[in-house]
Chains A and B, each alone.
Chain A
């Protein structure tokens, strides 16, 4: 067994290594739209930059911040609202792992979008996901816990831009608020699982950058909604072509 390098920064084991293209060990999702894609964070997004925070208080005499984060990591998929699915990678939430997701583009929609996240950072009190190209958001989201008085505060903090002009339009039409609701429900579910009968989730939302990054408008080429639409519209032409080849 080798001993750790004493000169290595103490955050070294917490960070994922950079990768050019993503691969995943997660299984069970209807499709994998992540493999071969690159990660894309707030720098690569199109829309306005939002900083969001969702927090819930949990009595700390029963649950330390480290225990809350360990519980959150271990049972992460179970806290998501109904209809959204998180397919964890084989190694769980560990640096460099890639999870697959199925989420409704609009809450309540029967249509599900397949996407994923890369785990870029994990320590005892936090873990952070980064989105891939093709995800509706170009974002980092950090899940953490800290002590505040007699409570442990569990929180999710997102730094996000919408990926392309179509998603930005949907954000203006209400998807931004719906996205907030997703995380509010998640935090409430986490708190309930730790014995909080009536969790109160505090939310803050700040627009850090009102400008849109038009040089990234072409991200729309990665959009699953666009791919789905094009595929649907061209289906008759493909059917006719197949008939000619086989006929």
Chain B
């Protein structure tokens, strides 16, 4: 069973989704429910600082999330990525569609720019 917890908070027009545990194909309901709470936000920041495991099913979920965000006119940002997960986003070329920042502050500044 996939162990995924996602806390959702707001900073003005930006929603922040803090991911803890794992992202696999089994995380779909947790991720999409969290994304549902981001409705109306202009941008969504995904905080991966507490991400412990992600397989290829999890990367597929991020693409689905990206498609939904694009459809809703939202920009997607990622923060808190370890070097390993940065490499995965580079390998899969997801980093061309999800803007990666070193800190939440930097992502929020970019989101409001």
Contact A9 B66 (CB under 8 A): no
Q: Looking at the complex, which one of A44, A142, A211 makes contact with B57 (CB distance below 8 Å)?
A: A142
Contact A120 B92 (CB under 8 A): yes
Interface 9-mer from B8-16, B34-42, B93-101, B104-112: B93-101
The answer to whether A142 and B56 touch across the interface, beta carbons within 8 angstroms, is: yes
Report B34-54 CB contacts with A as 1/0, cut-off 8 Å. Answer: 000000000000000000111
Provide 7 A-B residue pairs closer than 8 Å at the C-beta atoms, listed in order of the A residue.
A38-B93, A40-B93, A43-B96, A121-B56, A208-B67, A209-B67, A209-B70
B87 within 8 A of A: yes
Q: Is the CB of A44 within 8 A of B93?
A: yes
Least distance between B93 CB and chain A CB atoms (Å):
6
Q: Tell me if B88 is interfacial: C-beta within 8 Å of chain A.
A: yes
Smallest Cβ distance from A77 to chain B, in angstroms? 21
A84 CB within 8 Å of chain B: no
Closest Cβ of chain A: how far from B25's Cβ, in Å?
8
**Residues of the A chain whose Cβ atoms lie less than 8 Å from the Cβ of B82:** 9
Residues in B neighbouring A18, C-beta threshold 8 A: 87, 90-91
Contact status B54-A11, CB under 8 Å: yes
Q: Does B2 contact A (CB under 8 A)?
A: no
A17 touches B93 (CB 8 A): no
Q: Which of A26-45 contact B (CB under 8 A)?
A: 38-44
- Which residues of B are found within 8 Å of A17, using beta-carbon distances? 87, 91
Interface presence of B103 (CB below 8 A) = no
Closest 5 CB pairs of A and B: A128-B56, A121-B56, A18-B91, A18-B90, A209-B67
Could you tell me how many residues of chain B have their Cβ less than 8 Å away from some Cβ of chain A? Answer: 26
Q: Are B60 and A16 in contact (CB under 8 A)?
A: no
Decide yes or no whether A140 CB sits under 8 A from chain B: yes
Among B64, B66, B87, B96, which residue has its beta carbon within 8 angstroms of that of A15?
A: B87
B27 to chain A, nearest CB (A): 13
Q: Which residue of A lies closest to B53 (CB)?
A: A11
> How distant is the Cα of A49 from the Cα of B54 in the complex, in angstroms?
22
**CB nearest neighbor in A for B86:** A18
Question: Do the beta carbons of B63 and A42 come within 8 Å of each other?
Answer: yes
Assess whether A14 is interfacial by the CB under 8 Å rule: yes
Tell me how far the C-beta of B46 lies from the nearest C-beta in chain A, rounded to whole angstroms.
15
Interface residues of A in 116-141 (CB under 8 A from B): 120-121, 123, 126, 128, 130, 140
Docked-complex contact A159 and B53, CB < 8 angstroms: no
- Contact between chains at A140 and B93 (CB < 8 Å): no
